[in-house]
Amino acid sequence: MKHGKKYVDSAKLIDKTKLYDSDEALATVIKTATAKFDETIELHVKLGVDSRHADQQVRGAIVLPNGTGKNVKVLVICKGDENEQAAKDAGADFVGAEDMAQKIQSENWMDFDVLITTPDCMGIVGRLGKILGPRGLMPNPKAGTVTPDVAKAVKEAKAGKIEYRLDKTNIIHCPIGKASFGEQKLIENFDTLMGAIIKAKPAAAKGQYIKSCAVTSTMGPSVRINPAKFTV
């Protein structure tokens, strides 16, 4: 794969043979984020588990102390005037029930980043599984997006709550902020997310839990972090 000049120049700032401490890695990845827009900084963690087994799943949600830097659009599917008003007051961008489900089904409308619903509306949302599932938008109790307290869930989503979960290759990919955040805010977000992932270690996991760890900007090369620093 051929890379542009900016990527090549950024890659020269990274020692590919080195495993960095997390603080140094984040300082380096900020320097490599040279695009004309505010690049997202992402964390990629490969775990020593097998996601094919139910007892080795790693999934959860955490509110990053400094948010993600993204303006999160929230859709709430709920019933009852009280719930709808609570969702709107908390800052939800879209609120409804059957009408919203119909809009998603008939128009393939997906102009939202997070879908929150109440337990009594899971029947409505369940019908959208084939549309929402592949996009990672299906609400889940573990992520706090199926809840009777929609106001709290909306506020958390707006504040920078992210969901982490394994992909098929046993890797977690998550945004931890923007390059403009600076080193300190990114370190705080990084430490919060890594702490949650370590805490979520399944009892069935054997051997080394954190296999590899790296941070990267949207357009830049990855910087590898020493996994031995994370004791589990």
Domain boundaries, the chain: 5-67+161-229, 74-159
Beta bridge partners, 141, equal none
For residues 148 and 119, is the Cβ–Cβ distance under 8 A?
A: yes
* DSSP annotation of 69: S
For residues 214 and 224, is the Cβ–Cβ distance under 8 A?
A: yes
- The string of DSSP codes covering 35-82 is SSS-PEEEEEEEESS-TTSGGG--EEEEE-TT--SS---EEEE--SHH
Which two three-digit tokens encode residue 205?
């996991």
| pLDDT band, very low/low/confident/very high, at 232 (cuts 50, 70, 90) | low
Which two three-digit tokens encode residue 173?
């990919």
Beta bridge partners, 225, equal 20, 213
Burial label, 58 (beta-carbon count in 10 A; 0-12, 13-18, 19+):
buried
Interval 57-88: pLDDT, tens? 998 889 999 999 988 999 999 999 999 999 99
CA dihedral for 78, 84, 90, 92, sign (positive or negative): positive
In the prediction, which pLDDT does 3 show? 66
Kindly report the CATH number that applies to the domain delimited by 74-159: 3.40.50.790
Interval 119-167: pLDDT, tens? 999 999 999 999 999 888 999 898 899 999 999 999 999 998 998 989 9
* DSSP annotation of 221: P
In the prediction, which pLDDT does 183 show? 95
How do strand 114-117 and strand 74-77 relate by DSSP bridges? parallel
Which one, of 6, 62, 32, 72, lies nearest residue 215 by Cα? 32
Which one, of 1, 137, 143, 153, lies nearest residue 60 by Cα? 143
Q: What is the distance, to the nearest Å, from the Cα of residue 137 to the centroid of all Cα atoms in its chain?
A: 11
Q: What angle do CA 81, 82, 85 make, to 5 degrees?
A: 80
Q: Model-level pTM?
A: 0.82
Tell me how far apart the alpha carbons of residues 87 and 54 are, in angstroms, rounded to a whole number.
Answer: 33
Q: What is the CA radius of gyration of the chain?
A: 19
User: Would residue 13 be called left, alpha or beta, if left means φ above 0 and alpha means ψ between -120 and 50 degrees?
Assistant: alpha
For residues 64 and 177, is the Cβ–Cβ distance under 8 A?
A: yes
- Superfamily of domain 5-67+161-229, CATH level 4: Ribosomal protein L1/L10, rRNA-binding domain (3.30.190.20)
Beta bridge partners, 115, equal 75
